[in-house]
Amino acid sequence: SFKPLVFSGVQPTGNLHLGNYLGAIRKFVALQENNDCIYCVVDLHAITAQLVHEDLKGQIRSIAAAFIASGIDPVKHIVFNQSAVPQHAELAWIFNCVARIGWMNRMTQFKDKAGKDRENASLGLLAYPSLMAADILVYRATHVPVGDDQKQHLELARDIAQKFNIDFQERIRTTGQGVDMVVGEEPIHGYFPLVEPLIDGPAPRVMSLRDGTKKMSKSDPSDLSRINLMDDADEILKKIRKAKTDPDGLPSEVEGLAGRPEADNLIGIYAALADRTKADVLKEFGGQQFSVFKPALADLAVQVLAPISAEMRRLLGDTSHIDAILKDGGERARARAEAVMNDVYDIVGF
């Protein structure tokens, strides 16, 4: 069977927010203990929605700094940026030929990001999930910690792996690099693992502070909608104070959060930050008013985020350190990706 390997990536676009932290980065940190992990700043993805960026290099360094400030160990594990390893793009091309246009057209994130003028979206935006599948599978990674918003893309990565494994199964056998696995009911000799998403915790999708039905996002025009990793204590308190809520106080049971997305979101954020369950948080705050709960939530958010943003600022003060980490990570990642691409070219028959 496949050796367990964790892979995930974050785009270097805009400020990281609490959704990125709770949905992704915090899980990256926890997974290091018992796994081999590869964490990537996915810069090739950054040009899918917007082609020209003012300071892509600075953004890349800032994500890498956030990883390290949050507790990722770039020596035991791998931290690098995607464009340093050309095999991501090479495998993505093969996957573009494996994936079907209909699969891509069904992606809800494409529909959201492309908006009404779909004909004018970049081809890269449509093919984004194919590159994401390549990011993961160029290491034959088995587990991917992400937010709930990436669930559909991970299912597509499984579909791509499965189609590749089935279409090439005879050739996979002759290369001798395959693994016995079962797809559906059928035993096959496959090359790529069917990745498992790791989407869990009390806040798998952190919602906007202004609208409990939209996810917290870098691209939301309202700065009050999100807490950024680098926000100071005053900003965090202000945004949480202004967070939309309903007129009722907090329920004492989790069931009481049904149909109350804003209350559910704030309790979920508290629970995630405190590493507690929502039920447990409601044991403490149930029956209270938001005017009591919100300052407690702001305190907790500051307690968790302030040390991270301070360390990020320190790391970014001398870019040579981050650059050296990215260079070393890129070299180690590339060695692994090269070995996989050699197999893939052999399997495809080039």
Contact assessment for residue 230 and residue 213, using Cβ atoms and an 8 Å cutoff: no
Three-state secondary structure call for residue 246: coil
CB burial of 255-272 (b: ≥16 within 10 Å; e: otherwise) equals ebbeebbbbbbbbbbbbb
Subset of 87-126 contacting ligand ADP (CB under 6 A)? none
Only one residue has tokens 């791998």, namely: 78
Ligand-binding annotation for 346, yes or no, is no
Tokens representing 26 are 């915090």
Which residues are registered as beta bridge partners of 10? Answer: 41
Please choose, out of 144-152, 185-193, 233-241, 245-253, the segment that lies near ligand ADP by the rule CB under 6 A: 144-152
Ligand-binding annotation for 215, yes or no, is yes
- Our answer to whether residue 113 is catalytic in this structure is yes
147 binds ligand ADP (CB under 6 A): yes
Please choose, out of 147-155, 175-183, 327-335, 342-350, the segment that lies near ligand ADP by the rule CB under 6 A: 147-155
Contact assessment for residue 38 and residue 333, using Cβ atoms and an 8 Å cutoff: yes
Q: What is the DSSP letter of 224?
A: G
Ligand-binding annotation for 320, yes or no, is no
Q: What is d(CA 213, CA 124) in angstroms, rounded to the nearest whole number? A: 28
Per-residue binding letters, 3-22, with ligand ADP (x by CB under 6 A):
-------xx-------xx--
Ligand-binding annotation for 149, yes or no, is yes
157 binds ligand ADP (CB under 6 A): no
Please state the closest distance from residue 241 (CB atom) to ligand ADP, in A.
20
Please state the closest distance from residue 19 (CB atom) to ligand ADP, in A.
3
Subset of 197-236 contacting ligand ADP (CB under 6 A)? 205-206, 215-218
Q: What is d(CA 194, CA 302) in angstroms, rounded to the nearest whole number? A: 38
82 binds ligand ADP (CB under 6 A): no
Q: What is the DSSP letter of 258?
A: T
3-state secondary structure 275-301: CCCHHHHHHHHCCCCHHHHHHHHHHHH
H/E element, 81: strand 78-81
| Count of residues interacting with ligand ADP (CB under 6 A) | 16
- Our answer to whether residue 294 is catalytic in this structure is no
Query: Could you report how far apart the first and last alpha carbons of the chain are, in Å?
Result: 26
Report the residue number, 63 or 237, with the smaller CB distance to ligand ADP: 63
- Our answer to whether residue 218 is catalytic in this structure is yes
Q: What is d(CA 127, CA 99) in angstroms, rounded to the nearest whole number? A: 9
CA atoms within 13 A on the CB side of 297: 29
Report the residue number, 216 or 297, with the smaller CB distance to ligand ADP: 216
- The pairing of beta strand 179-183 with beta strand 186-190: antiparallel
Binds ligand ADP (CB under 6 A): choice among 79, 107, 146, 322: 146
Ligand-binding annotation for 135, yes or no, is yes
70 binds ligand ADP (CB under 6 A): no
Report the residue number, 190 or 201, with the smaller CB distance to ligand ADP: 201
162 binds ligand ADP (CB under 6 A): no
- Which of 151, 218, 238, 244 is flagged as catalytic? 218
The residue number whose beta carbon is nearest to ligand ADP equals 23
- Which of 215, 239, 278, 294 is flagged as catalytic? 215
Three-state secondary structure call for residue 259: coil
Binding-site residues for ATP, in ranges, read: 11-13, 19-20, 147-149, 206, 215-219
Catalytic residues: 113, 215, 218
Residues that bind ligand ADP (CB under 6 A): 10-11, 19-20, 23-24, 146-147, 149-150, 205-206, 215-218
